[in-house]
Structure formats: C-alpha cells, structure tokens
A and B are shown apart, each in its own frame.
Chain A
C-alpha cells in the first residue's frame, strides 16, 4: 500500500516539497492545483471519454455474449458440445500475441486503424474465461427451475434472461468487473492501434505524458496516475464484496 499512499501524497504537494528532507508524510496544506495542471497539459478529458466508451461497450458486450454462450453450454445437450467446449478452453492457452499481428492486418485492411473499434469489437464475442466461469455457475442452478418454466411455456431465451441471469448476479458481476478492469487497463492494443492523440485512451495518454516529462514534474505524474486509477479504485470499492464472493463461488475446480 505504501507506494499508493506515497503517490496520492505526492500528487497533493508542491514540487519543492516532495523531496524535502526529512520527508513530509502528510501533505498539509494540500495543493490540489496539480490536478488541473496535468489535466490541461494534454487532452485528458478526451482520453477518459475514449476509455469510458471502450470500457463500457466492450464490458457490456463481452458479458452478455459470454452469458449466452455459457448458458448454451450449460443447459443444452447437442452434437459436438464436448469438443466445442474444449476448444473454448483451449483458446485460453493461446497467447494473444499469436493472433495479434494478423488481427492488426485485418483491422488495417478494413480501415479501422486509429479508431476505437479494434479495442471493442473482438470483445463483443465474449471471452473464453468468462464463458468458463459463467458455465460453472449456471451448472449449479437447479434444473427444476428450467423445467417448471418450460412447462409454463417459456422459451429457452426467456429462461436464460428471467431465471438464469437474475440468479447468477454474483457470477455475472464478477465477469463484468474483470472485463471492466481489463479494458480500462489495456495497454498493448491501444498502443498498436491508436496513433492520433484525440483517440488515445488513458493508459496511452499517460504513457505519452511520461515520455514528455520523463524525470521531471513528478507531482504532475503522480496526480495523473492517481486520476487514472481512480475509476478502478471506486468501482472496486463498491463491488468488492460481489466480486470476491463471485470468485469464491465460481471456484476454480474445472
């Protein structure tokens, strides 16, 4: 925790006080001006908006698709199920760097370079990890509920949407949160796909910021880092119970 606290502390200080000896532990009076200073030095508002767009659309799409797919694997018997599920699991072993370059060329050929689309679209098809997690959870739901609903004439989709999803809130929240965090923090994809500053995400903007002021303006860098982490910290703070319960509930036994 110490580096965290030090970061927040330093973000609230004047540059000449940061390195004073003996060290000042509690910054008082606080100097909030570092925040507007860093914010205005680059279009950070734009970076945050871009990141929010990517994170929200990708998270919603990923969670929804993964849940559908997981329900398909958990609740139906069909030809090829075992093999296809194995295929899903196998993709978790594939390093993303194997598909990175052809995917880059694919997006390049359809003119999506320097847009946010390459950061969003692949997630809309779900992720193997989420499918796995949700399938494990759906398997624990009693089949009697499905049967009762089916007798009442409910379609599979209705059973999915009105029974399975509401009963799986902790697992779905876990998946959504993982997706949210993953997309917010993602660095490699923005790095290779985005080139003009108005399209940067926070991670990329931050890196650009550092490369500009390397070795100086620590107080601004710490303010920028604090701001970049803040959404994650807030989300985590409010969801941690669901989140950790979700991890524990879904378990890790395959």
Chain B
C-alpha cells in the first residue's frame, strides 16, 4: 500500500542527519566535482576560464619536474616518519602501560606536543635546527661534534623535518595505549600459566591484539604524510633547493602564488587518487594481518 502522507517519524531521522548532509553536498561533493571540472580548465583569474582538455594532466606528468620531486620528497618523508614514529610510539605506549608512578603525567607530557603542533612549534623548531644559534648544534658542540647546516643543507633538511615530526607522535601513543589497555588481562594470565615469557607474550598476544590500532594509525599516517604543509611552509618553505618541497606545498604555490587554479586542481586530483590507491591497498592488505576480535561493524 503506497502511503502518500509523510509521517514525522519517517522524516525525523533525516532531520537529525541533515546538518552533515547539507555540508556534504555544499562543501564536499559539490567542490569535489567542481575541482574535477576545474582540472580540465585554464583558470588563472587574469583571463577568462577556458576548457583545455587534458593539458593540465599532460603538463603534470611531462612538463613539471616539481611534481615528481615533491612526490619523491613525500615518500622519503614517509619512509622515515612512519616506521620511526610508530616504533617509538609503540615503545613509549608499552612503557606507559606499566603501572608506573606518574603515568598520567608522562602521558600528558607526551601528548602535549601534538596538540600544540602549529606555527608556534614550527618557529621553535626552526630555531632548534638553526645551524649557528640553534639548540641542537650547540648541544652537539659540547661533545666536539660539528653539527651540519640542517635546514640550509639539501641533505639534512628532510631528516630534520622527520625528526621534528616525531615530536607529534602523542596521538599515536594515546591510541596505542588505549589499545593496550583493551587487551583482556586473562589472555596474559593464561599464557603465563602456559609458560610464555615476556617476549613471546609481546609477539603472540600484544602485537596481534594491537593490529587494528596499528592499521588505523598506519592509514592516518600515510594520508597525513601526503598532506604535510605547515611545518614545511614555515620551517623551510620547501627549500633548500626543492629538498623539502612537499606535494601540498607545490599545490599551494601553483594555486596561490602562480594563481593557476586549474592546474592546481589537477594536482589536487592526483593527490586524491594517490591517497585513495594507498588506502585501498592498505585495506586489502590488512585482511592478511589485522586481527579483529569478535565481529566487525
């Protein structure tokens, strides 16, 4: 029987979810398609927009070496930032999970840098790594080690940014800690009875039970690595040379310095596709190694 009159209880759920759905259309779905259209246009403010087919994409792949430089830089950053950050966060979380005195205080201390991460911290870091006046090189000189030029040296600028990124691992620690505390004590007890040592328990209980958290963090970190902006913009501005030109920095330069919005949209779409491919690969690969207890919603 088709009902013609809408009942309030049928409409109500949609009223509740409407704020997000309106925002979704206006600020996400609409702009996403608009961005796709823009990527096929020449849109440069100074002259009327013009449809140019695949020219932006052709330029991106064949005529703009900075695309490849920035992608390579991002991969370089990821290979340092992700394994180091995860390993350190895992180690710290394990330490904090011991019922040590002052656990809450340490947790706060480790978490604090990731909430303050912004222009202010970027400024502090650019000073720490300053080759002449910086804290780091002065500290090294105490041991007679001449510190490198860090941010002014193409070889050391990226390692410096990777070291800086490790400072923001607080959220990873909190996620790992929450996961650690979610592991049922009974698993450890029964394995102890079976005679498993610390290492075996770590390898056979802790790590498998942590895989959902590790997976979650991994995806966040990969997606985040492709979107590094503030630190690179403030601390190195992409330099020296293009040693720390991250992809989004390149996009920003094309859009708001060169004012080429069409081309920058094509870059944004490349970013989107790359992030999507990475994420899908991860999700597919995850079936092999992520262990979900019980059912998955």
Stretch from B27-35, B50-58, B79-87, B196-204 that touches the partner: B27-35
| CA gap between A38 and B123 in the complex, in Å | 15
Chain A contacts for B28, CB-based, 8 A:
91, 94, 99
| A97 with B248, Cβ < 8 A, contacts A3-B135, A240-B108, A252-B212 known | yes
| CA gap between A71 and B112 in the complex, in Å | 31
Tell me how far the C-beta of B228 lies from the nearest C-beta in chain A, rounded to whole angstroms: 11
Query: Is B22 located at the chain interface by the 8 A CB criterion?
Result: yes
Return the CB mask of B261-295 against A: 1 if under 8 Å, else 0.
10011001101100110010000000000001000
Chain B contacts for A244, CB-based, 8 A:
107, 111, 174
Query: Is A42 located at the chain interface by the 8 A CB criterion?
Result: no
Q: How large is the interface on A (under 10, 10 to 19, 20 to 34, 35 or more residues)?
A: 35 or more
Asked whether, in the complex, the Cβ of A228 is within 8 Å of the Cβ of B120, the reply is yes
Asked whether, in the complex, the Cβ of A93 is within 8 Å of the Cβ of B275, the reply is yes
Q: CB < 8 Å: which of B23, B117, B138 contacts A23?
A: B138
| CA gap between A236 and B174 in the complex, in Å | 14
Query: Is A105 located at the chain interface by the 8 A CB criterion?
Result: yes
| A156 with B16, Cβ < 8 A, contacts A185-B118, A247-B174 known | yes
| CA gap between A72 and B12 in the complex, in Å | 8
Asked whether, in the complex, the Cβ of A99 is within 8 Å of the Cβ of B133, the reply is no
Chain B contacts for A101, CB-based, 8 A:
31, 35, 38, 255, 261, 264-265, 268
Specify the chain A residue showing the minimal Cβ separation from B128: A3
Asked whether, in the complex, the Cβ of A125 is within 8 Å of the Cβ of B27, the reply is yes
Tell me how far the C-beta of B236 lies from the nearest C-beta in chain A, rounded to whole angstroms: 13
Tell me how far the C-beta of A193 lies from the nearest C-beta in chain B, rounded to whole angstroms: 11
Chain A contacts for B271, CB-based, 8 A:
95, 97-98
Query: Is A166 located at the chain interface by the 8 A CB criterion?
Result: no
Query: Is A229 located at the chain interface by the 8 A CB criterion?
Result: yes
Q: How large is the interface on B (under 10, 10 to 19, 20 to 34, 35 or more residues)?
A: 35 or more
Query: Is A131 located at the chain interface by the 8 A CB criterion?
Result: yes
| CA gap between A102 and B125 in the complex, in Å | 33
Asked whether, in the complex, the Cβ of B133 is within 8 Å of the Cβ of A218, the reply is yes
Chain B contacts for A88, CB-based, 8 A:
20, 24
Query: Is A81 located at the chain interface by the 8 A CB criterion?
Result: yes
Tell me how far the C-beta of A220 lies from the nearest C-beta in chain B, rounded to whole angstroms: 11
| CA gap between A237 and B128 in the complex, in Å | 25
Specify the chain B residue showing the minimal Cβ separation from A19: B133
Asked whether, in the complex, the Cβ of A6 is within 8 Å of the Cβ of B135, the reply is yes
Asked whether, in the complex, the Cβ of B226 is within 8 Å of the Cβ of A225, the reply is no
Asked whether, in the complex, the Cβ of B275 is within 8 Å of the Cβ of A95, the reply is yes
Chain A contacts for B124, CB-based, 8 A:
3-4, 6-7, 222, 225
Query: Is A142 located at the chain interface by the 8 A CB criterion?
Result: no
Return the CB mask of B94-123 against A: 1 if under 8 Å, else 0.
000000000010011101110111111101
Query: Is A192 located at the chain interface by the 8 A CB criterion?
Result: yes
| A98 with B35, Cβ < 8 A, contacts A3-B135, A73-B17, A122-B27 known | yes
| A4 with B107, Cβ < 8 A, contacts A125-B20, A229-B121 known | no
Tell me how far the C-beta of B295 lies from the nearest C-beta in chain A, rounded to whole angstroms: 10
Q: CB < 8 Å: which of B123, B179, B248, B297 contacts A252?
A: B179
| CA gap between A207 and B235 in the complex, in Å | 10
Return the CB mask of A217-251 against B: 1 if under 8 Å, else 0.
01001101110110011001100110010011001
Asked whether, in the complex, the Cβ of A228 is within 8 Å of the Cβ of B118, the reply is yes
Q: Which of A6-23 contact B (CB under 8 A)?
A: 6-7, 19, 23
| CA gap between A232 and B120 in the complex, in Å | 11
Asked whether, in the complex, the Cβ of B35 is within 8 Å of the Cβ of A69, the reply is no
| CA gap between A202 and B16 in the complex, in Å | 35
Chain B contacts for A76, CB-based, 8 A:
12-13, 16
Chain A contacts for B123, CB-based, 8 A:
206, 210, 221, 224-225
| CA gap between A72 and B16 in the complex, in Å | 5
Specify the chain A residue showing the minimal Cβ separation from B11: A78
Asked whether, in the complex, the Cβ of B23 is within 8 Å of the Cβ of A125, the reply is yes
Chain B contacts for A131, CB-based, 8 A:
20
Return the 10 tightest CB-CB contacts between A and B, nearest first. Answer: A125-B23, A72-B16, A76-B13, A102-B34, A185-B118, A99-B31, A102-B31, A65-B19, A72-B17, A248-B178
Which residues of A line the B interface, CB within 8 A?
Answer: 1-4, 6-7, 19, 23, 65-66, 68-69, 71-73, 76-78, 81, 84, 87-88, 91, 93-106, 122, 124-126, 128, 131, 156, 160, 181, 184-185, 187-188, 192, 202-204, 206-207, 210, 218, 221-222, 224-226, 228-229, 232-233, 236-237, 240-241, 244, 247-248, 251-254
